[in-house]
């Protein structure tokens, strides 16, 4: 069979998303999740079971539902998992010997984050305590009243915690009230729980949280010392320590996470990572894996070490740290380790890995020998019949000497001596990171004959605290020069790039930068702005995060300096925009609401500038990553179609220099 030259848009339907490996207590079996797109072009996911010794794999659940989050019972006799088989996500259990799953919970609005009691007789879970909606006005009294991805107003609901006893089905609500309780799990002996509570006593304090330990025979006790954003508490096997991650918001949303350990015996807390200038957690951007900044904290059996994921220089890798702050990179490489499971002796680790040439599968890594063994091949059929473009790292000085890192993908039909168009693709966040992971969209563009340049300008994670803080208060300043210097470097370094055939796109912050770029230069032949910000003054009041994100990133509240918000608004340059601009936006995007797209479109259309607005019904801010598959493919067709159209038109016939 002839190989297909490059990835096609419809290949999205063939990809398998392998995730969440969980090793049985005896270390003999591995359960994991495979998500795919079925014949109805809808997502479904099922559990798969592997015999570790024989590597034999069996599908453990079936059907068109979403079965996720498998967790072994303490004795290894059964599994719990979440499933929407009854429409809402509920806890189900299934025997480790096979058979039909049984439903455990029946909450009106579904549940999340389930975990076993250490003795296996109960399950802890999180549920939404939602006020009944009535016809008539909805009264809002707090700043945080909506959230992207949630269809109803969050002021009408709170996240609460309960447990259910399996034999009696008795439900006991453990945490309730007008606050959100999240990241809950049992203590080592099941005599209590640890959790995070979001504070809402003051106007802005909802972005602050505290870690609590709640022994059931005592009152809950706050154990975190800093005021900031904290998450993912986990109790050590011996019960003495509670580890969690977070930061004091010193640099607002650009603040690096630290790893804290609370000693229950001495009632004291230490920061283990004070000298470690990396971002704890997975901040890699990909269109195949939903953004999950979880550090995947895991204690060693002797309670003397912690394992966690961290992101650095375009890679997400596995680290270990002891109680004295000594750090060891356990598993490294130019790749994206997005999840893992470790055996009791910490000799073998089962990794979910993606690379620029592979969407993701499981491998076994021997800690001592460093040897790796592929375990699953769910994407093998697709990969065997497709040629991919493999990225080449680039590195260059920006205008002020700051070193910028990124990658270049050649077109799939590359031939020496010929010239090719190039797309500058800008990531969102801005405090996220491009890196060594698979990108379906990038591969689709190279298959259509484009080079793709993707960079980590200042503001990106992976290059230290100073670097990630570099764009705050300066959007459109140093970051703009980082990107333009990258384009210059690419043209100078790759003589096959056609400098008259340059294109630019990006989403969220990348959409902001696309808007800023076309308002400040005409060097790009066409552009696509996606789920973007164009006006910080209106964004401040309409986004679900606008009223605190704006202060954190631009530096001021609306009432403090509205002119500064206007200064950093790309729509300020709308009369200068000559680049044909496609505007893509989701109708239900609460992060960057669609009014941002509408403003820009009307301002351009009124001037008879070349533009088009494409609205995606029911799509939120995450359309490109986990939106409806048909809509995702339609989005890619719009982007590539826009660039293809202007590729056929001589640049000199439609733009003049500003």
Active site residues per annotation: 508, 621
Phi, psi of 552 (to 5 degrees): -65, -35
**Partners of residue 350 on adjacent β-strands:** 341, 364
Q: Which residues contact 131 (CB under 8 A, 6 or more apart)?
A: 156, 157
Nearest to 537 by CA among 558, 512, 514, 515: 558
214, 197 in Cβ contact below 8 A? no
CA dihedral 209, 565, 431, 277 (to 10 degrees): -80
- Distance (Å, whole) CA 9 – CA 628: 14
User: Which DSSP string corresponds to 257-312?
Assistant: PEEEEEETTTTEEEES-TT--SEES--B--SSS--------EE-TTSSEEEEEEEE
- Polymer length of the chain: 658
Is the torsion defined by CA of 61, 67, 72, 77 positive or negative?
negative
- Distance (Å, whole) CA 432 – CA 141: 32
Angle at CA of residue 540, ends 537 and 545, nearest 5° = 155
Neighbours of 72 (CB within 10 A): 20
Alpha helix segments (H runs only) across 148-274: none
Neighbours of 384 (CB within 10 A): 10
Alpha helix segments (H runs only) across 448-545: 465-468, 478-493, 509-520, 536-542
DSSP code for 389: P
Measure CA of the first residue to CA of the last residue in the chain; give whole Å: 52
- Distance (Å, whole) CA 234 – CA 185: 7
Alpha helix segments (H runs only) across 113-271: none
- Distance (Å, whole) CA 437 – CA 183: 27
373, 352 in Cβ contact below 8 A? no
- Distance (Å, whole) CA 280 – CA 257: 6
């Amino acid at each position: 069979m002839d190989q297909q030259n490059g990835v096609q848009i419809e290949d999205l339907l063939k990809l398998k998303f392998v995730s969440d490996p969980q090793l049985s207590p005896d270390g003999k079996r591995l359960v994991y999740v495979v998500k795919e797109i079925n014949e109805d072009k809808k997502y479904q996911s099922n559990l798969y079971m592997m015999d570790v010794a024989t590597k034999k794999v069996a599908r453990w659940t079936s059907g068109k539902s979403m079965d996720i989050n498998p967790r072994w019972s303490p004795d290894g006799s059964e599994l719990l998992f979440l499933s929407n088989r009854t429409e809402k996500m509920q806890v189900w259990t299934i025997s480790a010997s096979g058979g039909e799953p049984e439903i455990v919970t029946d909450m009106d609005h579904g549940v999340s984050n389930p975990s076993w009691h250490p003795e296996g007789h109960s399950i802890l879970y999180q549920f939404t305590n939602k006020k009944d909606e009535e016809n008539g006005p909805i009264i809002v009294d707090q700043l945080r009243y909506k959230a992207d991805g949630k269809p109803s107003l969050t002021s009408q609901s709170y996240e609460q915690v309960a447990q259910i006893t399996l034999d009696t089905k008795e439900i006991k609500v453990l945490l309730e009230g007008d606050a959100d309780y999240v990241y809950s799990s049992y203590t080592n002996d099941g005599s209590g729980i640890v959790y995070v509570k979001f504070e809402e006593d003051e106007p802005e304090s909802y972005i602050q949280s505290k870690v609590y330990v709640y022994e059931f025979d005592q009152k809950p006790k706050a154990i975190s010392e800093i005021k900031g954003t904290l998450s993912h508490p986990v109790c050590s096997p011996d019960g003495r320590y509670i580890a969690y991650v977070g930061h004091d918001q010193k640099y607002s949303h650009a603040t690096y996470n630290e790893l804290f350990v609370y000693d229950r015996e001495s009632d004291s807390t230490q920061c283990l990572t004070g000298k470690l200038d990396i971002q704890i957690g997975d901040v890699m951007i990909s269109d195949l894996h939903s953004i999950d900044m979880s550090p995947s904290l895991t204690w060693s059996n002797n309670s003397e070490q912690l394992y966690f994921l961290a992101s650095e220089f375009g890679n997400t890798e596995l680290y270990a740290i002891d109680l004295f702050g000594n750090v060891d990179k356990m598993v490294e490489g130019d790749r994206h380790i997005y999840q893992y499971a470790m055996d009791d002796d910490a000799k073998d680790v089962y990794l979910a890995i993606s690379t620029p040439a592979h969407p993701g599968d499981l491998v076994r890594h021997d800690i001592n020998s460093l040897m790796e063994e592929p375990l699953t091949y769910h994407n093998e059929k697709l990969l065997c019949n497709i040629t991919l473009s493999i990225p080449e790292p680039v590195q260059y000085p920006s205008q002020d000497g700051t070193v910028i890192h990124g990658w270049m993908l050649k077109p799939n039909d590359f031939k020496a001596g010929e010239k090719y168009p190039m797309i500058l693709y800008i990531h969102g966040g801005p405090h996220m990171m491009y890196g060594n992971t698979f990108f379906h969209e990038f591969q689709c563009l190279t298959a259509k004959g484009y080079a793709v340049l993707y960079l980590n300008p200042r503001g990106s994670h992976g290059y230290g605290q100073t670097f990630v803080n570099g764009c705050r208060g300066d959007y459109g300043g140093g970051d703009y020069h980082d990107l333009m210097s990258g384009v210059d470097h690419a043209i100078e370094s790759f003589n096959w790039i056609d400098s008259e055939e340059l294109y630019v796109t990006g989403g969220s912050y990348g959409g902001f930068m696309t808007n800023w770029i076309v308002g400040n230069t005409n060097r790009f032949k066409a552009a696509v702005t996606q789920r973007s910000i164009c006006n910080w003054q209106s964004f401040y009041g309409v986004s679900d995060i606008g009223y605190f994100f704006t202060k954190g990133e631009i530096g001021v509240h609306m009432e403090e300096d509205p002119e500064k918000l206007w200064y950093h608004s790309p729509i300020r340059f709308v009369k200068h925009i000559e680049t044909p601009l496609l505007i893509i936006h989701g109708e239900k995007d609460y992060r960057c609401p669609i009014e941002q797209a509408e403003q820009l479109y009307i301002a351009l259309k009124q001037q008879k500038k070349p533009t088009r607005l494409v609205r995606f019904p029911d799509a939120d801010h995450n359309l490109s990553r986990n939106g409806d598959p048909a809509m995702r493919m339609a989005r890619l067709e719009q982007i590539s179609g826009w660039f293809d159209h202007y590729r056929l038109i001589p640049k000199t016939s439609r733009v003049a220099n500003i």
